[in-house]
Structure 1
Amino acid sequence: MKMWAMSNLATCGHGGSLSLCFPENLKFSSALRTNSRVSLPFLSDACRGSWLARGRSRRMDKDHIVRMALVDERLARTKDVAKPPEILAYDLVQGALVRWSSVADRSLPDPPTAVFLHGILGSRKNWGTFAQRLAQEFPTWQFLLVDLRCHGDSASMTKRGPHTVASTALDVLKLVRQLRITPRVLVGHSFGGKVVLSMVEQAAKPLARPVRVWVLDATPGKVRPGGDGEDHPAELISFLSKLPKEVSSKRHIINALLQEGFSKDVAQWVVTNLRPTTTSSSSSLSFSWVFDLKGISEMYQSYEETNLWKVVEDVPRGVHVNFLKAERSLHRWALEDLQRIYAAEELAAEEGGGVEMHVLEDAGHWVHADNPDGLFRILSSSFQGVKT
């Protein structure tokens, strides 16, 4: 597969962008005809994050064409593709009925799109399984999963500070503009929840009307981390900053976090940010962190300081903001927060917008991992009855 792809790259004329078109009679193994993303081992690290990967139904025809396109036109035109990309790393998981690419066929209207954003120290992979499930249930939709600045594969980007909620939101707005996508649903977990609110605040376009916004286990204003004996994100970031950039074992890091007093769930989640590396001087396996911890520290500070209540209490017409509180939330929801949300709910209904409060039972802060079935049921309302 790798050799074939390398020797059969075809350039298609679409505004200077590069696209790969596999012949119609090419048959893929069952591993490539699933809902999982397609692996592209022959791409440079700078390009890999910019490739579209279609979600696929298990019932798909064996000879279905797989089409992929490099959407960063500026990067496609340059000879030096090895330099850090200027576009956020992302995956585009598409339902089986989606026949669209922002580059390969601009004549088609973009299908309904939902954007999913992770929290501090997370990555787009947090949403991978959940998005594939949504793509199966709602085959006319596509789901954009993004690595935010300083996180995951976007950590190699040359992004200037300040690293804030607002600058992070602007990054995502630029990405959807580059992809020529108008999102109808925005979903943000924790830090990502404030980012989607900031997206609404900063841009009338490229957001659709109506647009449904989901803020998962985060409030618009003051951040209230867990109390004594519970995990505190700022303390976690501080502890990680003291660890070496390269480690020999994930288990070693988990044990160090447990010994420091962090929970097992947090310890296991943190090591998902480790990637295997082999040093030139040794054949032994080691692991390195994929995030920019200094930038993330700034982002978390901004998360604590950013106040977006004005977006909620003066919701633009056509915008519906949904808050979801985890029953066993890591963050404390004050009575004041709930009262302001309920008051905003009544006001928004009068002004043509919408605010709504939800509670996800049997879930802690990591809602998509603790109770994915319950979260799926709640979010599904946003994908039903939308004209395509």
Structure 2
Amino acid sequence: MTMLDERIADRSIVVNPADILAYDLVQGADVTWSYILDKTAPQPPTAVLLHGILGSRKNWGTFARRLAKEFPKWQFLLVDLRCHGDSASLRRKGPHTVASAALDVLKLLGVLKLTPRVVIGHSFGGKVALSMVDQVAKPLARPVRVWVLDATPGNVRAGADGDDHPAELISFLSTFPKEISSKRDVMEALIQHGFSKDVAQWVVTNLRQIEVNGASSSSLHWVFDLNGISDMYQSYEETNMWKVVEDVPRGVHIDFLKAERSLHRWAVEDIERIHIAEEQAVEEGGGVEMHVLEDAGHWVHADNPDGLFRILSFSFQGF
């Protein structure tokens, strides 16, 4: 995958990758590559893991470490997408969209001089992964496997059970003051407003203590840029990536994973359209495939990590 071209970056300018996006690199025991210490070492097979709206790279931490233990020759790049986590402090210029979030990841990979063999995106991150494929130079330099976890390429259908309405959640979070005194108060307010306890517990992981003169205070603040995230979610609803799925670049294989209990996200026409794309891709040298993760709702890596691990594992075998 050609990560950068002259339109994206001036190669004469030295760029610190951490100035593009906050990231962690989880490496297997057999990986010796280092961006800082030895740029001449052979590049190990690399996978990129992308979180969803209001998430962070930490969502993938436990799962990535498990993958690295099982597949010691691989390394796993976890990023905070723009406006999320530690990347929120980088103040990326707008517009805050699926495409701009994908371009950030491509820029980071270009500076790190990494060519991923696997890209895994959950929910919003799934469309970001598809946008990455759409934006890179074609044909791709080597086969790339793209996993889109519990997201469709087109219409977004969120919230049938009262617990999962991202637009309403983002709107409600905007009513809180900039400084917050207690995670418990936020959780209770979320639950009282109709969000589930699980969602409330997940949301408050985005609260951190405010530092004053180098010392932690009792006040908390959100680590994300909520206005930017609101724009990103609107873009997620509006962005249509069917063109990538129905005209898969040669050398790319796109895998969709549907959570068994996440029925409201998947219309019958979406599933049928993906199956048609499966047949077309075989004829054109690409690949599209549909999978179902049993006993899981939308939060696939939390609801059934063992099942998800089994399904994803074959992407890392043979190295």
Q: Does residue 1:312 correspond to 2:312, yes or no?
A: no
* Residue of structure 1 in register with 2:9 after alignment: none
| Cα offset, 1:270, TM superposition | 0.4
Q: Of 132, 147, 160, which residue of structure 2 is paired with 1:199?
A: 132
SS of match in other structure, 1:247? coil
Residue type of the alignment partner of 2:32: R
Matches within 5 A, 1:44-55: none
Q: Of 232, 241, 256, which residue of structure 1 is paired with 2:165?
A: 232
| Cα offset, 1:327, TM superposition | 1.1
* Residue of structure 2 in register with 1:183 after alignment: 116
Q: Of 61, 84, 93, which residue of structure 2 is paired with 1:128?
A: 61
Q: Does residue 1:168 correspond to 2:92, yes or no?
A: no
Q: Please tell me whether the aligned partners of residues 163 and 199 of structure 2 are also in contact (alpha carbons under 8 angstroms).
A: no
Q: Relative to 1, partners in 2 of residues 1:126 and 1:228: Cα closer, same or farther, differing over 3 Å?
A: closer
Q: Does residue 1:220 correspond to 2:167, yes or no?
A: no
* Residue of structure 1 in register with 2:72 after alignment: 139
Q: Of 73, 78, 82, which residue of structure 2 is paired with 1:149?
A: 82
Q: Relative to 1, partners in 2 of residues 1:283 and 1:335: Cα closer, same or farther, differing over 3 Å?
A: closer
* Residue of structure 2 in register with 1:245 after alignment: 178
Q: Under a length normalisation based on structure 2, what TM-score does the superposition of the two structures give?
A: 0.92
* Residue of structure 1 in register with 2:285 after alignment: 352
Could you say which structure has the greater relative contact order, defined with CA pairs below 8 angstroms and 6 or more residues apart?
2
Residue type of the alignment partner of 2:301: H
SS of match in other structure, 2:296? strand
Residue type of the alignment partner of 2:146: V
Q: Does residue 1:337 correspond to 2:273, yes or no?
A: no
Q: Please tell me whether the aligned partners of residues 139 and 249 of structure 2 are also in contact (alpha carbons under 8 angstroms).
A: no
* Residue of structure 2 in register with 1:115 after alignment: 48
Matches within 5 A, 1:15-30: none
Q: Please tell me whether the aligned partners of residues 138 and 249 of structure 2 are also in contact (alpha carbons under 8 angstroms).
A: no
Distance in 2 of aligned mates of 1:128 and 1:291: 18
Percent identity, please: 77
Residue type of the alignment partner of 1:275: R
SS of match in other structure, 2:19? coil
Residue type of the alignment partner of 1:354: G
Q: Does residue 1:87 correspond to 2:24, yes or no?
A: no
Distance in 1 of aligned mates of 2:296 and 2:64: 19
Distance in 1 of aligned mates of 2:141 and 2:165: 36
Q: Does residue 1:290 correspond to 2:223, yes or no?
A: yes
Q: Relative to 1, partners in 2 of residues 1:136 and 1:243: Cα closer, same or farther, differing over 3 Å?
A: same
Give the structure with the higher percent helix. Answer: 2
| Cα offset, 1:331, TM superposition | 4.7
* Residue of structure 1 in register with 2:315 after alignment: 382
Q: Please tell me whether the aligned partners of residues 33 and 41 of structure 2 are also in contact (alpha carbons under 8 angstroms).
A: yes
Q: Relative to 1, partners in 2 of residues 1:142 and 1:206: Cα closer, same or farther, differing over 3 Å?
A: farther
Distance in 1 of aligned mates of 2:56 and 2:314: 25
The alignment yields a C-alpha RMSD, in angstroms, of: 1.9
Unpaired runs of at least 5, structure 2: 1-12
Deviations 1:266-287 (A, max 9, x none): 111101101122556x975221
* Residue of structure 2 in register with 1:29 after alignment: none
Q: Please tell me whether the aligned partners of residues 189 and 218 of structure 1 are also in contact (alpha carbons under 8 angstroms).
A: yes
Deviations 1:85-122 (A, max 9, x none): 63200000000000111232222221000000000000
* Residue of structure 2 in register with 1:363 after alignment: 296
| Cα offset, 1:226, TM superposition | 1.8
Deviating more after overlay: 261-270 vs 222-231: 222-231
Q: Please tell me whether the aligned partners of residues 216 and 325 of structure 1 are also in contact (alpha carbons under 8 angstroms).
A: yes
Deviating more after overlay: 135-144 vs 229-238: 229-238
| Cα offset, 1:159, TM superposition | 1.1
Distance in 2 of aligned mates of 1:136 and 1:178: 26
* Residue of structure 1 in register with 2:205 after alignment: 272
Q: Relative to 1, partners in 2 of residues 1:245 and 1:325: Cα closer, same or farther, differing over 3 Å?
A: same
Deviations 1:207-256 (A, max 9, x none): 65211000000000000112363421000000000111211111111100
Residue type of the alignment partner of 1:229: G
Q: Relative to 1, partners in 2 of residues 1:313 and 1:116: Cα closer, same or farther, differing over 3 Å?
A: same
Deviating more after overlay: 128-137 vs 224-233: 224-233
Structure number with greater Rg is 1
Residue type of the alignment partner of 2:254: V
* Residue of structure 2 in register with 1:36 after alignment: none
